[in-house]
Amino acid sequence: MSSVLVSQKENNRAVHLQPARTSEQVALEMERVIAGAESVLQALSVTPIVRHGDLAICSDLVTGMATAVPYLSAIAVINPDGHVR
């Protein structure tokens, strides 16, 4: 009987720990996605096309990146004055 109680306690503990583990996994995945997006944006920010503001070419580049990176639904370039290009 005591082994059944121990087993039930272990099962209850496992059931309660699973959501915490799942939350940790989701948080780690979100960190990975955010770090990836950050890397893409940093790389774009130093390209001559974005830096010099050739709007037509810049638009093509940014659109291509948004299409190529599945977790980015849109990317916009904003000049230092705060205007979206």
Within 10 angstroms of residue 53's Cβ, the number of other Cβ atoms is 11
Tell whether 78 is covered by a domain. no
Tell whether 25 is covered by a domain. yes
Residue 35 has a pLDDT of 92
Of the candidates 27, 38, 30, which has an alpha carbon nearest to the alpha carbon of residue 75?
38
Expressed as residue numbers, the domain containing 50 is 2-68
Tell whether 45 is covered by a domain. yes
CA 77 – CA 65 distance, rounded (Å): 12
List Cα–Cα distances, 52 to 32, 39, 41, 46, 49, in angstroms. 30, 20, 16, 10, 6
Tell whether 82 is covered by a domain. no
Residue 25 has a pLDDT of 95
CA 5 – CA 11 distance, rounded (Å): 10
Tell whether 12 is covered by a domain. yes
Within 10 angstroms of residue 54's Cβ, the number of other Cβ atoms is 14
Tell whether 14 is covered by a domain. yes
pLDDT per position in the chain (85 positions), as tens? 556 555 777 777 777 778 889 999 999 999 998 998 899 889 888 888 888 877 888 888 888 887 888 777 777 778 788 888 6
3-class state of residue 39 by DSSP: helix
- Overall domain count for the chain: 1
Residue 3 has a pLDDT of 62
